[in-house]
Each structure stands twice: as structure tokens, then as C-alpha cells.
Amino acid sequence: MSIGIKTVVADGNEIFRYGIISILKEGGTFEICSDVDNGALVLTAYESIKPGLCILSMNMPEMEGLIIAKKIIEKDPEAQILLLANDHDHKTLNEFLDSGALGLLHKSAHHLELLDAAEKVSNGERFLGKQFSRMMTKEYLKLAKHKRRPQPAKKITKREREILELLMEGLTSSEIAEKLFISPRTVEKHRTNLLKKTGLKNTAALVRYAMENESLIF
């Protein structure tokens, strides 16, 4: 008998949490080792089980899912975390990009999309739910329309280029700080300067901009 992927499911809503578990069990790929309703207990469950997948709500009682995700990733950079969001706005998308988690899915997603997300994240692949993918696409299109504006490559410092490159790789502020031997606050300051210099509003747009203008920036 084959053993499924060890999975932790964490959400404060019991009905919603059991719904996720039911969908995953029907998929036949996952072994639910723990279901958690309290953010403070997720870290303990993760340490105890060492799961191949952690499905974590961004809104958890006692401790927010984003804080939990960052704490897990600090100890286990290879952690395969799928975040579930109540909102589908730029703030949520940017928080996900900063968290280091592999996947982001809105709670209104179809059950098949949940299974797809769970399978890809458990395999170490990145996954962005349809609603968030559309947001990224809109940012990309906005950048395409503004190609004529002067490129800021000459204004960007060497350190800012380093930080921008690491942001493109999906690293969090804490991970960038550790890698460059600077403080997370310094990383945030450089990121703010990058946003000002490019005239962009958020990290998602900044990453898209860097991808679009990589040859000029780097």
C-alpha cells in the first residue's frame, strides 16, 4: 500500500478545514497527518511531522499564517507551503511574494484547482491561483504600455540590483538580509527606493518590471 504525501492542514474554520481534508483525501495523493485550528500550534505540528505539504490559511487565530510561514521557512528553506487567502488584492499578493511560500490560492477556488495547487507545491513547484495570476498579468500589461518611459537602470545602485535579483528569485526580506549580511530594515529601505525609482506601487509590479527589463537593469 502506497503512502501519501504527509500533509498538515491549518485553518481556524472547522467546516472549511474539513472540506479541504475531504477534497485531499478524495484525490488519493495526500495523507492528512494533522489538522490545526490555532496558529500557535502549527509550528509544533510542522516540527513533529516534517510534512511534504503544509496548507496554511493566511488568517489564523493566535498567530497569522504569514508569520507562521516565515518562521517555518527560516528553519526549513525547502518547506512546501500553500497559503490560502480570504482576499484577492495586491496587498495579499505582495505579502505572499514576501513570505517565501510556494503557492497562493484564494479560498473561493474550485476544488480541482486546490488539488492542482497541492500537487504542484508538494512537488516543489510554484503555484499562483487564477485570480492572482490575472492580477500579475494585469501588472505585466501595464508595464508593456509604459515601455516608452525612461528606464531607471542608471539610477539603480549595485546594492539595489542585488536585492532586485534576489526578489526575482522569490526570497523574503529576511532571507535577502541574511544572504547580503544586512538588516531586514535595510532591505525594506532599498525596496522602497526601487519602487520610487521605477514609479511602481508594489513588489509584484517590481518583479514584473525587472523581468521585462532584465537586460537593461542587470
What one-character-per-residue DSSP string does 168-210 give? HTT--HHHHHHHHTS-HHHHHHHHHHHHHHHT--SHHHHHHHH
Q: What was the pLDDT predicted at 144?
A: 56
Shared domain for 46 and 125, answered yes or no, is yes
CA atoms within 13 A on the CB side of 209: 26
For 80-90, the pLDDT digits (tens) are 999 999 988 88
Instruction: Assess if residue 136 is contained within a domain.
Output: no
Shared domain for 35 and 113, answered yes or no, is yes
What is the DSSP-derived secondary structure letter of residue 104? E
Q: What was the pLDDT predicted at 100?
A: 86
Average pLDDT score over residue span 43-60: 95
Instruction: Assess if residue 134 is contained within a domain.
Output: no
Q: Give the Å distances, CA to CA, from 123 to 77, 177, 179, 182.
A: 14, 27, 25, 32
Confidence bin at 139 (pLDDT 50/70/90): low
Average pLDDT score over residue span 29-57: 95
- Contact by Cβ (8 Å): 71, 39: no
Q: Is the confidence at residue 110, as pLDDT, over 80? A: yes
Domain count, the chain: 2
Instruction: Assess if residue 116 is contained within a domain.
Output: yes
Instruction: Assess if residue 141 is contained within a domain.
Output: no
Question: Domain range holding 26?
Answer: 5-129
Q: What was the pLDDT predicted at 218?
A: 57
For 150-169, the pLDDT digits (tens) are 444 447 888 998 998 888 88
